[in-house]
Structure 1
Amino acid sequence: MLRITLLTTSLLAAGLLAAAAPAPAASAEVGAGATTLGRCGPGELCLWPKADFRGRPQTHELSGIDIESCLPLPPGTSAQSLANRTGRPVTTYQSAECAETGEFETYPGGGVWMPQSPYRIRAFKVWEN
């Protein structure tokens, strides 16, 4: 009887320790493997130069963005993955002038993580809610 009680107590303790352990890093399924989400703070739009949130991101906060204005990335740069944590819709453009003759896509605000854009992002617009 004592042996069963010790075993039950040990299993219960192990279950409680597992429940208290920190959650693993968030990931997004990509192709055959998983990729870790890049860091992007609340209220920011983060753009990485490479797919799967690799490279040094450009971060843009709402306080420094003109709403509904075309904001081109610095000359010679582009992005291939993004996170929109602004709380507002963001449209990314293949064109550095936000021309709608090229590819463009709008992502809702609040927590969109896109590990690979279907085109090189060269500009963006942040919209009112």
Structure 2
Amino acid sequence: MLTALPAATATGSPAATAAPAPRLGACAPGQLCLWPKAEFRGRALAHELSDTDIESCVPLPAGVTAQALANRTGRPVTVYQSAECAETGEFETYPGRGVWVPQTPYQIRAFKIWER
């Protein structure tokens, strides 16, 4: 869970008002959600296990990339810079059951959902 810490004042005591907690993107349990812009902005693409081949490369539609994600599938998900899931580009695996990433270090073009 992300929380914001209060800023210190000149006297060293916490400020009277804390910064608001970051907004998480809406993503239903059991889904992998990908947003086209950082901070969960834009229209999310949602994928469920029921309609996604496990351990298969799933490219995003042509011309579509993602910069933020939420993994609520309960399974590890690897996201790729390459649309072919090539490991010559950047890639990262995120555990399931509630991972929100507001900004990925590269444009996501494909993903794989793994069997536990």
Scaled by the length of structure 2, the TM-score of the pair is 0.83
1:45/1:61 contact within 8 Å kept: yes
In the alignment, the residues of structure 2 paired with residue 34 and residue 46 of structure 1 have an alpha-carbon distance, to the nearest angstrom, of 20
Match of 2:9 in 1: none
Structure 1 outlier segments of 4+, above 6 Å = none
Question: Is the counterpart of residue 61 in structure 1 residue 48 in structure 2?
Answer: yes
2:58 to 71, 85, 91: 71
Q: Percent identity?
A: 73
Q: CA RMSD in A?
A: 1.7
* Partners of 1:51 and 1:115 within 8 A in 2: yes
Check conservation: 1:80, 1:120, Cα contact below 8 A: yes
Q: Which runs of 5+ in 1 are unaligned?
A: 1-25
Amino acid of the residue matched to residue 98 of structure 2? G
Higher helix share: 1
Change (3 A) 1:82 1:28: farther
Cα distance in 1, alignment partners of residues 74 and 45 from structure 2: 18
The answer to whether the 8 Å contact 1:27/1:36 transfers is no
Q: Equivalent residue for 1:37?
A: 24
Q: What is the CA deviation profile of residues 34-79 of structure 1, one whole-angstrom value per residue up to 9, with x for unaligned ones?
A: 5300100000000000000000000001100000000000000000
TM-score by length of 1: 0.75
Helix, strand or coil at the partner of 1:67? coil
Q: Is the radius of gyration larger for structure 1 or structure 2?
A: 1
